[in-house]
Amino acid sequence: MSDIKKVVLAYSGGLDTSVIVRWLQDTYNCEVVTFTADIGQGEEVEPARAKAEALGVKEIYIEDLREEFVRDYVFPMFRANTIYEGEYLLGTSIARPLIAKRLIDIANETGADAISHGATGKGNDQVRFELGAYALKPGVKVIAPWREWDLNSREKLLAYCDERNIPVEKKKGKSPYSMDANLLHISYEGINLEDPWAEAEEDMWRWSVSPEAAPDEPTYVELTYKKGDIVAIDGQDMKPHVVLETLNKLAGANGIGRLDIVENRYVGMKSRGCYETPGGTIMLRAHRAIESITLDREVAHLKDSIMPRYAEVIYNGYWWSPEREALQALIDQTQNYVNGTVRLKLYKGNVDVVGRKSEDSLFDEKIATFEEDQGAYDQKDAEGFIKLNALRLRIAAGKGRKL
């Protein structure tokens, strides 16, 4: 273990990572560099500095990554209308490649020998952090304490803190839900949620009111798109992270964005989790709406066909992979004409598209109308079209084949 002299740790300042700092110092006799990222989790990150200093950490990185997170990770993902297993908007998954990237950047800057994280051996995050790290620095050493130590309960972690005078906040009774938050979402796992039959308690939710408690009058909002990304809300230009912050508030106030699912983790088990993704729910609905009038039919169908694969790539931790980059290049190319405005009605948990317009629209009123079209479309052409497309069916039926 003497070859490890310095380790960069993804550090939140909470119980687990505070223990990890001291455990790394004790177990590897190494210097620890802490990295704390502000990706919009809604809590102050600066207090992590004092906590790290109290543990003897000399090199402390605390960074505001909100803009980079939304611009370079969330927006590219939403250009694909990405959802995992038909429901999950990948709020946790999409944050991990950015954190992995900065861990490696800081390791290079500080001359560290290894990186470390607080993800458990049961979850997806260990995979995401480490696949990203190895893709960006093939020879990096990764230390995952949860796969090495025997501190496998909150009680053991607290006892470790007492033995080594680690200052942490101690909470009596049951531990809270296991939560992960960033600008895109907040997730909840554990306690009663481990029973897939048990309904989530109302006071668990942090970012949204219940649909029943939402206002009795709808809220209307207009989103302006340029090349597949939202650039303005109600005509006001905004940076990407401000767009998401604003939509989170609008959606949450209208009871939008709650999700309760059982998903298939990459490590093999099923896991029940609850998620709040208020702004993302609006973004998904609105992006599909603007694409509906600006994308060619076959391009739109091609995007839909590759989306599940793209979602799996992100969920499983392969953001920094050649297949994700290839898929992203195709997706981004399709967005050149995805420009215009979408009008939405937000009401008691629902997001309704009530208008869409674009100078790049492929919707032709002269052809689509049910009224007189002045010869724009010859309805007689449909007869030959139908017969040609029915030819293989007629041949098979004529041979007496049954379905």
Q: Are residues 50 and 127 in the same domain?
A: yes
Residue 223 lies in a domain: yes
Question: Quick one: pLDDT band at residue 171, thresholds 50, 70, 90?
Answer: low
Distance in angstroms (rounded) separating the CA atoms of residues 295 and 282? 19
Per-residue model confidence (pLDDT) at position 176 = 63
Domain boundary among 164, 195, 221: 164
178 given a catalytic annotation: yes
Mean pLDDT of 90-116: 97
Tell whether the model's pLDDT for residue 344 goes beyond 60: yes
For the chain, the 3-state helix, strand and coil shares in percent, each to the nearest 5, are: 45, 20, 35
Which region among 35-49, 174-188, 322-336 has the lowest average model confidence (pLDDT)? 174-188
Q: Domain span at residue 205?
A: 178-295+334-357
CATH number of the structural domain spanning residue 140? 3.40.50.620
Q: Are residues 131 and 12 in the same domain?
A: yes
Tell whether the model's pLDDT for residue 141 goes beyond 70: yes
SS (H, E, C) 161-219: HHHHCCCCCCCCCCCCCEEEECCCCEEEECHHHHCCCCCCCHHHCCCCCCHHHCCCCCE
Domain boundary among 105, 134, 164: 164
Tell whether the model's pLDDT for residue 403 goes beyond 80: no
Mean pLDDT of 44-67: 94
The one catalytic residue among 22, 96, 102, 258: 96
Per-residue model confidence (pLDDT) at position 2 = 58
Q: Are residues 22 and 136 in the same domain?
A: yes
Q: Are residues 99 and 211 in the same domain?
A: no
Residues 6+ apart with CB under 8 A from 386: none
Q: Are residues 185 and 229 in the same domain?
A: yes
Question: Quick one: pLDDT band at residue 332, thresholds 50, 70, 90?
Answer: very high
Mean pLDDT of 167-192: 79
CATH number of the structural domain spanning residue 206? 3.90.1260.10
Q: Are residues 18 and 144 in the same domain?
A: yes
Residue 289 lies in a domain: yes
Domain boundary among 164, 194, 210: 164
Distance in angstroms (rounded) separating the CA atoms of residues 22 and 55? 7
Per-residue model confidence (pLDDT) at position 287 = 98
Residue 339 lies in a domain: yes
Q: Are residues 349 and 381 in the same domain?
A: no
Residue 18 lies in a domain: yes
Which region among 168-172, 179-183, 317-321, 359-363 has the lowest average model confidence (pLDDT)? 168-172
Query: Comparing 265 with 43, which gets the higher pLDDT?
Result: 265
Instruction: Give me 170's structure tokens.
Output: 């101690």
Mean pLDDT of 106-112: 97
Q: Are residues 267 and 228 in the same domain?
A: yes
Q: What percent of the chain has pLDDT over 90?
A: 85
Question: Quick one: pLDDT band at residue 174, thresholds 50, 70, 90?
Answer: very low
The one catalytic residue among 12, 16, 66, 208: 16
Q: Phi/psi at 255 (nearest 5 deg)? A: 70, 30
Q: Are residues 204 and 146 in the same domain?
A: no
Taking phi first (over 0 means left), then psi (-120 to 50 degrees means alpha), and beta for anything else, what does residue 265 get? beta
Mean pLDDT of 22-51: 93
Residue 246 lies in a domain: yes
Tell whether the model's pLDDT for residue 173 goes beyond 70: no
Predicted TM-score (pTM) above 0.75: yes
- The count of domains in the chain is 3
Q: Are residues 17 and 96 in the same domain?
A: yes
16 given a catalytic annotation: yes
Tell whether the model's pLDDT for residue 366 goes beyond 90: no
The one catalytic residue among 113, 125, 258, 356: 125
Mean pLDDT of 21-44: 94
Query: Comparing 120 with 281, which gets the higher pLDDT?
Result: 281
The one catalytic residue among 49, 71, 72, 178: 178
Per-residue model confidence (pLDDT) at position 1 = 47
Q: Are residues 212 and 284 in the same domain?
A: yes
Query: pLDDT tens digits for 227-270?
Result: 999 999 999 999 999 999 999 999 999 999 999 999 999 999 99
Question: Quick one: pLDDT band at residue 373, thresholds 50, 70, 90?
Answer: confident
Q: Are residues 371 and 353 in the same domain?
A: no
Query: pLDDT tens digits for 303-316?
Result: 999 999 999 999 99
Contact 78, 330 (CB under 8 A): no
Per-residue model confidence (pLDDT) at position 178 = 85
Residue 307 lies in a domain: no
Per-residue model confidence (pLDDT) at position 14 = 87
Per-residue model confidence (pLDDT) at position 168 = 77
Taking phi first (over 0 means left), then psi (-120 to 50 degrees means alpha), and beta for anything else, what does residue 366 get? alpha
